[in-house]
Structure 1
Amino acid sequence: MMQFTESLPPQVSSFSSLMMNKNSNTNNNQIQHARPWPGFHTSKNLGNIGDTNCMEQLLVHCANAIDSNDATLAQQILWVLNNIAPPDGDSNQRLTCGFLRALILRAAKIGTCKLLTSNLNHSMETHKFSIIELASFVDLTPWHRFGFTAANGAILEAVEGYSIIHIVDFSLTHCMQIPTLIDAISTRVEGPPLIKLTVAGATEDLPPMLDLSYEELGAKLVNFARSRNVMMEFRVIPSSSSDGFSNVFEQLRVQNLIRPDNGEALVINCHMMLHYIPEETTVLSNSFRAMFLKAIRNLDPTIVVLVDEDADFTSNNLVCRLRSAFNYLWIPYDTVDTFLPRGSKQRQWYEADICWKIENVIAQEGIQRLERLEPKSQWVQRMRNANFRSSGFSEEGVTEVKNMLDEHAAGWGLKRDEEDLVLTWKGHSVVFATAWVPL
């Protein structure tokens, strides 16, 4: 990353003696005795400038300076952040570096600190995975596997006895959940059912991205199902989250694809995709998300499974979003240190996807801001408002999730919140899984 040493404001000369020399061994005690930093209306020192709380405060001050077009103060803070948060540092430094990139992009977009941003490309390229790479990528942590395992357990119980199972899949992970479900269904005592898989093919470029088309993906899934003696029909409906996937529901209706009169089980599988539906109103009953859930309810599904990340990125206030994202996205940076070595390709891909999320939350506004996570409590209320009731997870399903977590680092855990399941990392909520049936 380029160092902000050119045209350094004279006000930060006290920092330059501490931080400009990359070969110095400046320790925390030296930094603690630095004089107060100009620009902060406080007589207190910054304290340990390298700790997480201080990094968060610097980011908050920087965000305020950028949005108030205070170029001098923003430049000072960006320079300090650049020196204390290298892209190859520890997990907290890499997290802060991700937010630094996002703030620089925001400054460039709104015209603050052009001197710092004119010749600087801070974006990280997201990787396009092969199907094998993506499968391995998803298996690295329980981040997605937790939802797959919980959802598949609930689905298998709900469709027991049906000879035809129609799955409408709204998934961020390009059907990576489906092969495990096919494996489980293929062993049914009464014989495997016919599986109809309808995929909502998102037209947005959302990471993780795949290097093959949906048609090629579908052919691979059909061949895999055939190898398990399961008949499968695959179709993709091009769709966009920006209109609540309205084209999916329209095509299901026009093509008469939903046939409950034929004894089909209808499964709506939502895996980390619904938070991309725009949400600009606090009125839960009058929004794109409410209309999406109403459209699902009108299909009278056998079961709806909703899995998503348990955080809140919906605030229109930048500082609120920044704090919420900073206090949630430390988790993937912390976990990556437990299973991927520094410099590995997979780690670069993993963290590039996180940086994409940070940049979208911080640097974008309006329709360009796609990452609008809502906490579990909000989705639970939405589902209830749409006339669904929780069906929960059986003890057998919970055991499967626990067995899966045993394959991963010790920091991962599982908690039950009423009838829902929540994946945790060191006690902090990460991903929730809920299962619903119509009232």
Structure 2
Amino acid sequence: MSSRTTINSQTDQGRISAQRNKKGKKQQRKEMVDLRTLLIHCAQAVSVNNHTLASDILSIIRQYASTSGDDSQRLAFCVADCLEVRLAGTGSQLYRKLMAKRRNAVGILKVFHLCIAICPFLRAPHYFSNKTVIDVSKGKPRVHIIDFGICFGFQWPSLFEQLAKREGGPPKVRITGIEQPQPGFRPNESSTNAGQRLADYASMFNIPFEYQGISSKWETIKIDDFKIDKDDVLIVNCIYRLKNLGDETVSTNSARNRVLNTIRMLKPKVFIHGIVNGSYSTPFFLTRFKEVMYHYSALFDIIDKTLPWDDEARMILERDIYLSEVLNVIACEGSERIERPESYKKWKLRNKKAGFEQLPLNPDTVKGTRAMVKQYHKDFVINEDDQWLLLRWKGRILYGIATWKPSESNNGD
């Protein structure tokens, strides 16, 4: 998807720009207040509905925050907007409006290319997942991949390319792409479009291919909807999307556990699970606020270290994607809040409780993923813990990936 040359040129461009801006940044920082502390004080005022104090602090933050400054100024601008929306009590309406607005496909593609070029957080799990699929389906004539959160289907063309080179020819590939229904008159549009694109790619690589799209609330999908064939090697894939399902604070029989239960009952050969490692799913606003600040500080720092300030795709990523996510965490409550990541340790407990057992990491897959991460900025770190492969920026674990299978000791439904 992205050559090493592209990555290096993007990184070099960012470094040159960073050096150019270094002197200006130092000067600005001398004059800057501690934005993080101000934001936390503002959040404290918001949490007790002290509108006057919160508004006063927001007006100070606005003097230093900027959509075109360094990472701390840009994050402050984003978070201040979200605090203002929470104060006004319009979080849910605004978030629904943002989600209903159909995102420009060209803009999304620019952001995707940007993310592939500057950081390994998409390429690494895609590589890990595709390598797992290839290993598990070795020598088998039919593969069925159920992809929870297929989105645009960007992950799968590179798998087709690798399967096309398989000794003895490629297997027949079935993909069931699952998405949430979209607002408006075409709820299945995203999943259908992904299927058409993937059929074109499969044809390009001479892969026998079949696609089924499901656009539905994930917790309502039944086993029969997947049209399982016992002759297929069944693989379930979910990269970074289970965080969007409701947990126990929304419902006792949570959507999160119901979907895990469905996956277990499918009895896949392997369940590939990529997670956003965050601790801002708590119902307590201030705790959640601090955690989301720390998490997005790292993401904004990554962009600042690798890209020029005025990069177009950077602005789309920050102002469209990151802003809507942070808005959901800060300004929405109850079932309206869908950004609910958990730490990899909590996911381990949850998956085991749902009847899964964790599989050991494949050393070759880990080695290949490490080699890929080394192509990026030196502050990206990959390490292993408790059979999870963890992706870090400096000291902060941001993402994790692991493989699971239904536990043999748990045969109940």
Name the structure 2 match of 1:42: none
Change (3 A) 1:27 1:253: closer
Deviation at 1:50, TM superposition (A): 2.6
Aligned to 1:318: 285
Counterpart of 1:295, as a letter, is T
Task: Call closer, same or farther: CA 1:213–1:293 in 2, change over 3 Å.
Answer: closer
- Counterparts of residues 11-410 of structure 1 (less than 5 Å): 50-51=33-34, 55-109=35-89, 127-130=103-106, 132-133=109-110, 135-140=112-117, 141-171=119-149, 173-204=151-182, 213-240=190-217, 245-247=218-220, 249-250=221-222, 252-254=223-225, 257-260=227-230, 263-281=231-249, 286-352=253-319, 353-410=321-378
Find the aligned partners of 1:348 and 1:69 in 2 and give their Cα distance.
32
CA distance 1:27–1:91, change in 2 (3 Å):
closer
Mapped partners of 2:144, 2:63: distance in 1: 54
User: Which residue of 2 is the match for residue 40 of structure 1?
Assistant: none
| Matched pairs, number | 369
Give the conservation status (yes or no) of the 8 Å contact 1:269–1:306. Answer: yes
**Long gaps (5+) in structure 1:** 1-24, 32-48, 112-120, 206-211
The answer on whether the counterparts of 2:219 and 2:256 sit within 8 Å (CA) in structure 1 is no
- Structure-1 separation of matches of 2:137 and 2:171: 10
The answer to whether the Cα contact below 8 Å between 2:111 and 2:316 also exists between their aligned partners in 1 is no
Q: Equivalent residue of 2:196, what SS?
A: helix
Moved more, 170-179 or 343-352: 170-179
Q: Give the alignment partner of residue 436 of structure 1, picking from 382, 398, 404.
A: 404
Q: Which structure is higher in RCO with an 8 Å CA cutoff and minimum separation 6?
A: 2
Output the TM-score relative to the length of structure 2. Answer: 0.82
**More helix per residue:** 2
Give the gaps of 5 or more residues in structure 2. Answer: 1-25, 92-96, 184-188, 408-413
Whether the 8 Å contact between 1:105 and 1:122 is mirrored in structure 2 is: no
Q: Supply the AA of the counterpart residue of 1:334.
A: D
Normalised TM-score (structure 1): 0.78
- Asked if 2 retains the 8 angstrom alpha-carbon contact of 1:127 and 1:349, the reply is no
CA gap 1:253/1:69 in 2 versus in 1, 3 angstroms = same
Query: What amino acid does structure 2 have at the position aligned with 1:74?
Result: A
3-state DSSP of counterpart to 1:235: strand
- Judged with a 3 Å threshold, the aligned counterparts in structure 2 of structure 1 residues 26 and 306 are, in CA distance, closer, same or farther, namely closer
Q: 1:69 Cα deviation (Å)?
A: 2.3
> Conserved in 2, the CA contact under 8 Å of 1:172 and 1:272?
no
Query: 2 CA distance for matches of 1:185 and 1:75?
Result: 57
Distance in structure 1 (CA, Å) of the matches to 2:176 and 2:394: 37
| Deviations 1:4-58, CA, capped at 9 Å, x for gaps | xxxxxxxxxxxxxxxxxxxxx99877x7xxxxxxxxxxxxxxxxx634xxx2332
Moved >4 Å (runs of 4+): 25-29
| Shift, 1:407, TM fit | 2.5
Question: What fraction of aligned residue pairs are identical, expressed as a percent?
Answer: 26
